[in-house]
Each structure stands twice: as C-alpha cells, then as structure tokens.
Chains A and B, each alone.
Chain A
C-alpha cells in the first residue's frame, strides 16, 4: 500500500494514497456529513456540506470539500472547528430556505438525511427568508411520486437514473436558482420512458421522491368484511424488512415478518418463493421448447417488471425474446383467483390479493394488460418492503419482540431455488437446477450450484456469461443486473458478439435485494457497506439451509400441476400464467 501520512484533528494517521479526505476521516472513525456524495456515481462536490479545513505544505488552512479532495503527504485536516460548523450550519440554512419544511408529515421524517443534520447542527430553519420555488406535485406515475418542493438538488437521483442505470429520464433543467430536477420538456414521470425501478427513491436523501403509498387500500380491504385479503411476500422482503426496525442489513426476519402480517389481519400470509418455483418450471420448459423447436432465442427472463418496461421502451425489437411467463407476483395472484378461488369456493371478485415486494415497478405491473387471469386483476395492490414496515409500525406491533411463525398453507413451501430469485443470477441458477434434470431425464445427485452466474467481486459492472454442458446439450447463458448492463448485453447480442440461449436480466443492480422498494439506508451506509452482498447473503443462506433446493421438489407446486395445470406450458398454464408485451418505444 502506498501510504500517505496525514494529521486528522491533530492525530497522526497513515492512509492509502489516492483516498479522499472523507475516506481518510472514516479510517479515523470520523464521519463527515455529506448530502450529494454517492461513491462512484455522484462525486460532484455540489452540496458543499462536507467542508473541512486542510493545510498542505505548511500553507494556511483553507476549506475544501472532503468528498472529492484527495489526501496528500503531510496534510493536516480539521473536521470540527467553529469555522466549519458555522459554514455547515449556514449551508443547511440555505438549503432549508428553499425547501418545503413540512417535516412532521413527510414520508422521510426520521429517515431524512437533511433532517438529521439540521438537528445536529441546530439550525434556525427560518434564518433566511426570501423566495421559495413552488412546483406541482408529480403524481402521474403509478409507482413514483416526485415532490420538487422538497428537492435539495443533490442530484443523487440523477446519478442513479443516468449514471448507474444508464436511463437518464431525469436530469437538471434550467440553471441558477431556477435549476430543478425534471424530465425533458417538463413532462411528468408517468409520461416518459421511466421504468419505475425506484433507484432514484432509495438514492434520495430527503422526501422529494417516494413510492406511491398503497397501504390505505390494503387497510380498507382488511376492514371490509366482504373481502378475503391475502398477502404473499417476495424472497427479498424477509431479507430486508428487519432494516425498518433497526436490524443490521443482512438480518433474516422471515418468522417475525409472517407473524406481524398475520397480526395485521390478513386472511392468509403466503410465500412468493412458491411461485418463484412455478415460474422456474414454466420458464425452463419454455426455454427447452424454444431450443428444441427453433423458437426465438436467446430467451430472456421476465420476472423483473422494471426490466420488462425497459425492454419495451428501449429495445422493442427484443420483446419476442422475453419469456411469456408472468412474474412470480402475478403468477401468485393468478393462482389465487383461479385455482385457489375454485378450491376454496370463493368468488374471485371477493379476493383482495396483496403482494409485498422489494420493488416499485411492480406497482406498474399490477395494472398491465394481460395480468387478469380470472377476469379480475391478478394482484390488487403491490406494496414495497418500506410500506410493509410502515403498516406494521402504524399498527403498533412491536416487531422486535415477536417470536415469529410460519407461512400459511397451502402456499407455505418455497425451495432454495425460489429464494435466490432475489439476487442477481438467482433465476438463472434456479432454472439451470431444474433444466438439467429435465434435459438429463433424471434427478442430479446433488443440487446444481452455478457460482459463475452469481454476483462477482462485489461489483455489478458489466454482465456475466457461462456455458454448461448438460448431457448432449450445451446451454450458454448470460446474466446482467442494472439496466445499464442490460443495455450493454443486448447491444452485444445485436452486434452478434454474444451468442447465448438464455439471459437473466434484473432491472436493479444486484437484483431485487437492491430493489427500489427496499428500506432506506443513508448515504453514509450506502457508501461504506456492500448492502447488496449483505442482503443477498440472507437468500443464499436460505438456499443452503433449505430442505428442498430445487423447484421441481416443491410439493405445493407439483400439486398445482396435478390438480389444475396438468403439465408445464399446458393450455391452462398459458391462460393463467403467461402474458404478452407491448412495443412502446421512446
């Protein structure tokens, strides 16, 4: 290590050359406040909150922004002087002077990064009067609400949308005091080619971007005696819900989550891992069919609704490559309102089906065409992990004190293959576990593991490819997460540089564990902790510890085929479990 000797608040440290002052201070266990800084994607030095005083080469101290200023040999850094504190306070007061201070009712109250700092620095929120910009609330999107009145122009959302996801439907418009984040020609989010991934929301330090809150609809349904209200939870929700209640990232809270949901009054709490398994069986059979019958290849997974919308907007020529399988959420709803309704003798119109998901794009998905197998929407409401957390909190349930319980029958079984759906590469691995058995015509001695398609080196850059020899058949696959990487992958397919049979694409970098509906973590955590890895570890742990690790071993799924669908990709299965796509263009 090329080391540099620095003094931080008078104490000596040797830190890595090339580090920023901010990183060096963290080595010294000092957290310098930031608002705009997001490592690697938003290193723009714009908010000016992280000012510190540095002296280099014996020159007088001057203020620099810690987030982008590199350390140098002999540098002396002061992070906590009256001058700095005064500057940070003035900075916050300036931000507040053009910020709608409806903090009491703000969705981000208590998780707001600005609020926390204002509190710490004891700011006078009305110190600067003067003009404040007023913007219309943008409620045009089914998933994301934008309130520019709260925006502090840190541009983290822009970095998430443009730099991280490679989409760029939002950006800075106009300049100076008129600068605001918006879409081209000031269109609303619902009118542009936004894929609803919600990465802007989790990037936002304040309440300027948030998901459409659908929890009232759920509570109303629960209170309606004519409705049977069921909920199923996606694999990633259990891995993150704990973060809403102060657990460290990577804490599996499945039993408490199930118990809390039951306490909320749901008539049944089911495991979406089950329809993940169902998806695998449908999708893998579709793939084998396409390979054997000369169908459209490569086939691409369809369980990420953000990815689907991305494909429809940006790569409409690839919509025929998409698997026609509904996503696990939609399959679950479809099964509930057909098979389950028939079996239980309930009119599907009286079933209110809720899915709990780590995803904001699923709020868009529930309203899509071709997602109403029973004639009623397969899923009535999709609520994010954050909304689930809020419902539990609002109901006064002491989540941390719960002992926990199990999912309800008959949909309580999920395989390890279903669990890893939540991590990038998981669908691919699950599908391969199943396909191998089908192609070979006999069960494998032990469940297949395909580390090649899992997230590599803690990074979501680029995409991964692998090739598997199964019997006489060579299956070539590719996996990408994050739409920027998906774009690269599809471009390579278009250019003939990549020839594979099967592609898994997840809209969010790292997959659903890093979905746009997941609990907030402040930048100080996001910049220093690999949240995606910690959260994914829960799922891989689930997989390893699961009694069954292959979708085809899921008895509940097999029962569905026996009692209702007959066999995979049957006519009935197509009616209920498959869908179609739209070529949207830009």
Chain B
C-alpha cells in the first residue's frame, strides 16, 4: 500500500533535485499551504452539507434536496452566492478593523491546523509543543471576534463580542486542562508522540475514568470555544439577531461562517488525536486477529471517521439543546468544569506517577 510518507518524500526529493535547498523549503511551504487550504475547504463544504442534512433529519424535514443529487451541490451554490454578493460596510464602522477582523479570525484557525498529523508521515510541522501551540493559537481568534463586534458600531454586535470574549477566555482553561491530562500520561506535547503512545490502545480506553471525564469536558469546552449551540451566546439568534457578525454581508459573513466550521474541524482533530488515537486503528490488546483486520482499514479512514463522529456529536448538541444564559455559562465553567478539571488533573498525575494506567 502506498503510504503518504512515500508521496511526501518523493515530492521532497524531486524538488531538491530541481531547486536549491532554500527554494525547496519555500516551494514545500506553498505546496503544503495550498494542500491544506484545499483540504479544509472540501471539509467545510462537507460539514455544511452534513450540518444541514443532520438538522433536517432531526427536524423532520429533508434538508437541501434541489441542487445536485440530494442537494449535494447546494453548499457550492451558496458559496457562489456569497462571493457574488457585495461586501457592504456600513457608514459608521471602523473600516480598517471591520475589514480586517474576518481575515484575522480565518488566519488564526488555519494556524491551528499546522501541527496536526493527518496520516502517518503527513504532518506539516512536527513540533515538540504541538498541542500547546494549538491551544495557544486557537485562543487568538477571540481578538478577531472582539474586533468585529467593536468595529461594527452596533450594540448587538458589541454585546455578542463581549459575551464571546468572556466565554472563550473561560472555556480555554478547561479545554487546556483536559488535554493536559493526556499530556501528563503520555509525557509529551508533540502531536506525533501522543499518537504513537496510543499504538497499543487509545487514551480514552487506557486512561481509566479520568481521561473519559477529560474527553467529556473537552467536548463541552470546545463546543463553547467554537461558539456553537448550546453555547452560541455570541450569536444567540433569538437575543442578539446575529451577534458579532450582524453587520457583515457577502464574503465577510461567509468567512465567519467558514471559520466556525474550520474551528469545529480543529476541535474534532485535536479530540481525535489526543483521546481517540488520531489515525491509529482500533486495537484490542491480545486479540490479534481482530487487530489485524483493523489494520487493513486505511489510516485516513480512521482519522476522518473519528473527526466526523465528533462533528456529528457537536451537531447533535446544537440541534437538541436550548441555549444557556450568560451567567449560567460562566458559572458552569468557573464553578464546575474548572475545579473538576483541576481535581481530575491531580488524579491523573497520581495515576501516572504510580503507573496505574495501561
């Protein structure tokens, strides 16, 4: 079977043969960027389509079913519509920040994709602080949201942005702490090492109850970080019309929409990497025949399967739960999730020291 590492090393050798080392590096950067961009856009299109179909399924309706087979081209049509619409900036907005905000948000979510390991040997940046980098970078996004809300010169936008600021800064903590539990067990921040440490079983199975708890906390906290229902207070349609992106139209709005899905992708990737073994197949210790069969399923199917599972979970929340109120939201984080996460981390540290995990 062709491995992704074969392809990447072939590209590297071909380019090195043609260009000087510096130019090779540059060309590879551009190639990687374009590849990720294309990949992510494809993902987003699939996610949007999936979201609408899942919503339709849950709400006793069909979802898109006119453009293409089963409405599969609906999202592409929508993207064209957004691209053709005028990106209108109202008169009294702060033009610079208003126009800059969507791009900042988008750039930040793309940055978080850098250390992700997509498949064996297919990783853009294998850094030894991979997970830390992702958590650090993904919280910059809130600056873009605050910029959008403040510069719009709209009170709804401002309230939405302020809510979003409070929310993302709070939930960053328990998201970080729940990842830290796994980091403590495997002893490395590198994405590659975390995946390799799960070769004999995913952390969610190896790590006893504390890691399962961390997984649940991570899914809750990351849903909040993505501003998805039931934590969509920043947008809160029934309260703030559209929250921080009320004043955006055309592709400005499109980029916020896109970013929401890229953030979901990042979150799903991190969750599947850290808790569900990334692209590693499902193995049961001591059950060789089964493990062998599982090894035949390509790694990308495993990885994407896990991503789609988590995305589906997040969508399921969105279409089932009512929204929290701002004080309930903050109370949930600061009074319940954060203390419990800290206690959980202590327990994990204790288990790690005693070597009780598998």
Q: Do A and B bind each other?
A: no
Which B residues lie at the A interface, using CB under 8 A? none
